[in-house]
Chains A and B, each alone.
Chain A
Amino acid sequence: MNGHNIMTTAIENNIRLLEARKAQVQTKGSEPFNIACEKQSVAGSVSQRACVFCGSRVVLYPICDALHVIHGPIGCASYTWDIRGSVSSGPQLHRMSFSTDLQEKDVIYGGEKKLEKALLELIAHYNPKAAFVYATCIVGLIGDDMDAVCRRVSARTGIDVIPVQSEGFAGSKKDGYSAACHALDQLVGTGDTSDIKPLSINILGDFNIGGETWVIKDYYEKMGLQVVSTITGDGRVDDIRKAHGASLNVVQCSGSMKGLARMMKEKYGTPFMHVSYFGIEDMSRALYEVADHFGDKDLLKRAQDMVRDEVMRIMPELRKIRQDLEGKKAAIYTGGAFKAFSLVRSLRTLGVQTTIAGSQTGNPTDYKQLAELCDDGTIILDDTNPLELAKFIQETDTDLLIGGVKERPIAYKLGVAFCDHNHERKDCLAGFEGMLNFAREVHGSLCSPVWKFSPFRQKHKEAVGSSQTTEKPKATYIPTNVIKPGETSGGGGESKFATLTIGATEVAK
C-alpha cells in the first residue's frame, strides 16, 4: 500500500453531489427547509436502499409459527435467510429458508405448478398455522397468478395461505410494509375475542430484536393492560387473528405498521397512536400516552411509578457514561425516519450532538420534524450513498455513525465508531434497559482505544495542533460487568487501584 494514500482524505478529493440528488440533502437552518424525498433512487447511485420484498419480508418474518415461502429465483430467499435478529419464545419455523428456486423453464412456462406443489408439500410436512407466500420481481413479470394458487392450496389444506404482493421493483421498502399490512389484514378479524378485556392493546411495529417486544410487553402488563397480540415481534398467527378485539393499537415506527393500524381503524374502529420506545423521554411518553388514552387513574399511577423506578435504576450509570461522551458528535442513518427522532433525543441524553441525520424512507413531514428537533447546522439526508455519507462525516468531524450493515464498514474504514441500530443489532435497545444498553454500546465503541491508531484521528490531531489534541479524554466509565476491586457494584471511576486482588491474595501495588 503506498504511503500517500493513507494521508489523503476524501475531502481533498472534493466530491461533488449528483445534480439530481442535491434536493435530497439539506442543512438545518438554511431555510426554507424543503427536502426532496420519497423518490426512487437515481439509477446508477450506490444506494443504501432495499426493495419492496425486503420490506415485506422483514415485517412478516417474526411470525414464527407461520410458513414463509419465497416464490422466485434463489437469491431473494438466500439473502433473507435468518438475517434479522427477531427472537421467538417458541417455534423457530420462521428461521428456515424456503424457496421455489425458479429455473429457466419456470421463467418461460410459469411457476404456478411448482409453487403449488411446494406449498402442499411444506404444509403437510410442517403443519404451520398459516403460510405467507412472497412474490419477487420475476413473479410479477412472468405473471403467475399467486392469488389463485394460494386460494387453491388454502382450500385443500384448510389453513390460511396468504399471498404477499411484494414484487421488488414496485416501489421501495415502504411499499413492502404496506403489502405486509395487507397480508396481515387477512388474518385479523378471524379469531375469537371473547376473552379480551376493555383495558387491552396490540403492540404494533416492534419486531422483538434482542427481545425488545418482551420488554415492552412487560411494561404494559405491569401497568395492568392486556396485550392481545404483538405484531409482529414474537408473533403468533392465532393472536393476530383476534387483534381486532383489543381496544387500542399502539404503533411503533412510522413506516411499517401504520397501514395495518389504519385498516383496523376503518374496519373495526380500533383507534391507534404512534409511539417510540427508544430513549427515556420517548419510552416514558409512550406509557403515559397509552394510560391517558384509557383515562384510567390506576394505569397512569402504575406507569408513573414504573417510569420513576426504571429511570432511577439506570440514571446513575447513564450519568457516568455521559461524562465520557459529552461533546462527541454523531451521524444517524436509519431505515425509517421515525427512529431517527428517538436517536437524536437519546444521544442528547448522553451529551452527544447529532451532526448528520438521514433515513432511507422518510417523508416530508418526517424530515420537517427531524429538522425541528436537530440543532442548526445539522445535515439532513434522504436516501444517501456511501460517498456522501463519508464526505459529510469527515467534514463535520463526526465521531460516531449509527446505521445498519452497509454503513458499518464505511464507518470503520474511516476510523469512526459505530453502533448498529438496525435489524442486525444483537441487544435490546428499546425501553429503559434498552437505553442503558444503547449507552453502553455507544460508549464501548466511542471510547475504544483502537481509534488511537486510526490514521484519520491521527491526521486530525496533527492538523489541529498538538496543543488542542482531539484525542479523547481517558474513559472514566467502566461497564458494570467489570467489577473493580474494592467495589461491590460496578461503574464509576473514582476508586483508586490501591490494591489488586488476584485470587485470594492481596498484593500491594
Chain B
Amino acid sequence: MSLLRHTKGGEVHERQALTVNPAKTCQPVGAMYAALGIHKCLPHSHGSQGCCSYHRSTLSRHYKEPAMAGTGSFTEGSSVFGGQANLLTAIENMFTLYKPDVIAVHTTCLSETIGDDIPQITENAIDKGLVPEGKFVIHANTPSYVGAHPTGFANMTKAMVDYFAKSTREDKVARRVNIIPGYVEPADMAEIKRLAKLMGLDPIMFPDTSGVLDAPQTGVHEMYPAGGVTIDELIAAGDAQQTIALGPVCSGPAAKALYAKCKVPQTTMGLPIGLAATDKFVMAMRSLNGGFVPEEIKYERGRLLDLMTDMHQYFYGKSVALWGDPDQLVGLSELLMSVDMLPKYVVTGTPGKKFLKRMGDVLGDKVHESFVRQGPCADMYLMHQWIKNEPCDLLMGNTYGKYIARDDDIPYVRHGFPILDRVGHQYFPTVGYKGAIRVLEQILNVLMDRQDRDSPEETFELTM
C-alpha cells in the first residue's frame, strides 16, 4: 500500500489557501544555524518555548549534534504585554549561566506580531548592566510568515555585518577576502575555506559552522565547540579587499550591507556546485591573488572533468525532480545541465525575487521542458502530482522526498536541509570540484543500482 495513496495525478488544480507537505521550514531555524557559526555564540529564540524546541530538534536530527539555544519562554502575559521582560531576564540568565561571547536573538512569528523592538530592549539591557563588558547581543528579525529558513539565515548573516564589521583604515588589506558561504553544510564551509587558502588568500568566512556542528566526540559537553567565526574576524571583515557572496538569497544581503557600511567591494555569485560554478568562484579568487591557480586545484578540476567524461552516457537525458532552497536549486540545476540531465520539476517554498529568472538562465532553451514553481503552494504535494502525471528518473532533495521515492519507486539522492534519515552530509562537501565529484558519484550510484536491479538477465552487466 502506498503511503501517499492520497496523491493522485490528473489535473493539477490551483490551491491558494493551503500548503501540503511543505518544501521549506521557517525562518528562525536558518537564523539559529547561522548564529551557531559564530564562535561562542548562543542563539536565542525570542518567543514561546515550542518554536525553539522544534528548531533545536530539527538541527539535532540533521546534524546528530546538540544544538544549543535559549528560549524566551513566552506566556500569555508576554503575548499581551510584550516580551521585554522575557528578553531582559533571558539576557541576564544566559550571560550568567552559559557565558557566551555573543547572544544572537532572533524573533518568532509571535514576537514579530506582538511587535517587540529588539534593539531597544537590548539597549535597555545594556543600560541596566546586564550585558557584561566585552560581550554582545545581536539580533535579526525572522518572521516566518514572510520568508523561510534561507531568509532567516540571510537575515542573521547580515546582522553579523551590521553589528560587527568595522572599517578601520583607508586602504583595504590585500588578500583578505570575506567569504559568505551561504546555507551550506559545515563540510562545505570547510571546503570553501580550504580552496581559499590554497589560492593564497586570507579568508574570513562567516558564518562558519565547521567545527561547531560537526564537532568530534571529546567526552565533554562542549557548550561552545572550537569552530565558528570570531568577533575579531567579523570586525576585521570591514577592512577586507573583497567580499565573495555565494548564493544571492542567503549571502547577498550581508555582502551588500558590508559594502554600504565599509565600502568593501562585493561579488555575488551562485553556490560553487559543479564545474562551471566552481570555476567562477576560483576565477573570482584569482583576481585577488595576483592571478595564479595552484596545481592542486587544477588537478582536482581535472579529476572532476575526467569523471564527467568517463560517465557521461549514464547521465544523458535523465530527468530530475528537485526541491529545496533557491540557491541550492540553481547550483544543482546547473550541475545537472552540465552533464545533460534535465531539471524537469523544481519547487521551492522559499520566496525571493530573482529565483525564476535565475532558473530560466540556467535552463536556457530547455526552459520549456521544465516545471518550476516558487511560493507558498510550491510544495511536495504539487511535485508529486507532477510526477504522477509524468514520471522522472531521479529525485534530489531533502528527506521529505522519501515518501515519493518509495511510492513511485524512483532513485533518490538526498541533498539539502533537512536530512533526518541518513548521514554523510555532515562529512562530505558537495561544493567545489571535489564536492561535484561526490554529487555525481551519488547520482551514478542510484542510477546504476536501478539499472542493475531492473535489467533483464541477458543485459545485466558486470562492467559498467
Residues on A close to B: CB < 8 A?
1-2, 5-6, 8-10, 15-18, 20, 40-54, 72-81, 92-93, 95-104, 106-107, 113-115, 117-118, 121-122, 125-126, 136-138, 140-142, 168-172, 386-387, 390-391, 394, 405-406, 408-410, 412-415, 454-459
Contact = CB atoms under 8 A, between A and B. Distances in A.
Interface string B224-243: 00100000000000000000
Contacts of A140: 79
B422 to A, nearest CB: 16
A141 B75 CA distance: 12
Q: Considering residues A8, A41, A43, A114, which has the most beta carbons from chain B within 10 angstroms of its beta carbon?
A: A43
Contacts of A43: 70-73, 85-87, 89-90, 93
A2 B218 contact: no
Interface stretch (B17-25, B258-266, B287-295, B439-447): B17-25
A406 B57 contact: yes
Contact of B145 (A79, A102, A410): A102
Given A75-B54, A79-B54, A457-B219, A42 B48 contact: no
Contacts of A415: 217, 219
Nearest to A404: B57
Contact of A41 (B18, B73, B226, B400): B73
23 contacts: A5-B222, A6-B218, A16-B97, A46-B71, A50-B50, A74-B22, A74-B26, A74-B148, A75-B54, A79-B55, A92-B3, A103-B145, A104-B146, A107-B143, A113-B17, A121-B18, A137-B50, A137-B109, A168-B49, A405-B57, A413-B65, A454-B217, A456-B220
Contact of A97 (B20, B110, B114, B218): B20
A47 B47 CA distance: 13
Closest 8 CB pairs of A and B: A51-B50, A75-B26, A456-B219, A44-B90, A390-B221, A44-B93, A455-B219, A79-B54
Contacts of A168: 48-51, 110
Contacts of B223: 386-387
A98 B25 contact: no
Contacts of B377: 101
Q: Considering residues B55, B86, B148, B218, which has the most beta carbons from chain A within 10 angstroms of its beta carbon?
A: B218
Nearest to A5: B218
B69 interface: yes
A42 B93 contact: yes
A459 B219 CA distance: 9
B164 to A, nearest CB: 22
A175 to B, nearest CB: 10
Nearest to B71: A47
B93 A98 contact: no
Nearest to B24: A74
Interface of B: 1, 3-6, 15-22, 24-29, 42, 44, 47-58, 60-61, 63-76, 78-79, 85-87, 89-94, 96-98, 108-110, 113-114, 143-146, 148, 211, 215-223, 226, 349, 376-377, 400
B58 to A, nearest CB: 6
Nearest to A125: B6
Given A172-B49, A456-B219, A77 B22 contact: yes
B113 A142 contact: yes
A117 B17 contact: yes
B203 to A, nearest CB: 20
B219 A54 contact: no
A97 B21 contact: yes
Q: Considering residues A18, A44, A76, A118, which has the most beta carbons from chain B within 10 angstroms of its beta carbon?
A: A44
A51 B56 CA distance: 13
Contacts of B21: 81, 96-97
A46 B98 contact: yes
Given A51-B50, A51-B53, A409 B376 contact: no
A437 B72 CA distance: 39
A409 to B, nearest CB: 4
A387 B217 contact: no
Contacts of B215: 1, 413
A113 to B, nearest CB: 8
